[in-house]
Each structure stands twice: as C-alpha cells, then as structure tokens.
Amino acid sequence: MSTPDPEGVLAEQLLRLTRRVHRIQKRHLEWRDLGVTPAQSRLLRTLAHYDSPPRMADLAQRLEVVPRAVTTLVDGLEAHGKVRRVPDPSNRRVTRIELTDEGRATLSELHGARRSAAEEILAPLTEKERQVLGVLLDTLVDGDTPTR
C-alpha cells in the first residue's frame, strides 16, 4: 500500500479549484451576454490598468503571452467596438490600444460578473474562513517562503 502524497493531493485540489473558478466565471460572463471570452476579458482588465494606451507588446508582456495572441484578442475586441487601435503620437510605426466607451461599459459589467462569480465560489465559507483563505492565497501568490 502506498503512502498518501499530501502535496500531490493539494496540487490536485488547486487544479480542480482553478478549473471550477474558470467554469463559474465563464458561466457568469455568458449570463451577462457581454460578447467577450474569458481571455478577452482579461485583456480588457489589463488594459484598464494603464494610464495611457499601451503597445501590443506591452500587453503581451503583462499578460505573459506571445504577441500574436494579443493581436487575435485585440482583433476580436476591436470588431465588437470595445477597443481601438490608435497611432503612437511620437512614432508612427507603433500602434497603441485604447478602450472605447463600449469597452469601458463592458469592463464595468465584467467587474459585476466577477463579483457574482466570487460570491458563488465563496458561499460555503464563513467570513473568518474567507479571511484565512485570503491570507493563504496572498502567501501563495507572492511566493513568500516562511521560515519554520
């Protein structure tokens, strides 16, 4: 009989939770009929963090994807009027991406969809359990290794 692998069990639980979170978020996006995919919503959220319109290469770097993936996402969002390509004022060879008014409205709806998805996911937890989970997730996201 083999010994249980606690790290393997935790890894599997994390993967299952990640898949569940994606499924629930996708469902909440579909309910709101925003016409964006989860990947496009991530690009919109990322775009909103810039003070001025970024280059596609900047978006690719921030999203940790290849530039071609950003081009495909921007093409889809531009076709639906959520972003637009604008020339760089200082270098005409550079194109920047900016949110349109429609994109900003979609972003607001996306925040609502994410909030309602989070409420559904966290519903089984008490307030104290949510606080503990938040601390644990911060530790995992930041990668801090506590000294024991």
Domain ranges of the chain: 21-142
Domain covering 21-142, topology: Arc Repressor Mutant, subunit A (1.10.10)
Its pTM stands at: 0.74
pLDDT for residue 100: 97
Residue percentage of the chain with pLDDT more than 70: 94
User: Which residues lie closer than 8 Å to 87 by C-beta, 6 or more apart?
Assistant: 94, 95, 96
What is the tens place of the pLDDT at every residue in 84-142?
999 998 998 999 999 999 999 999 999 988 899 999 999 999 999 999 999 999 998 88
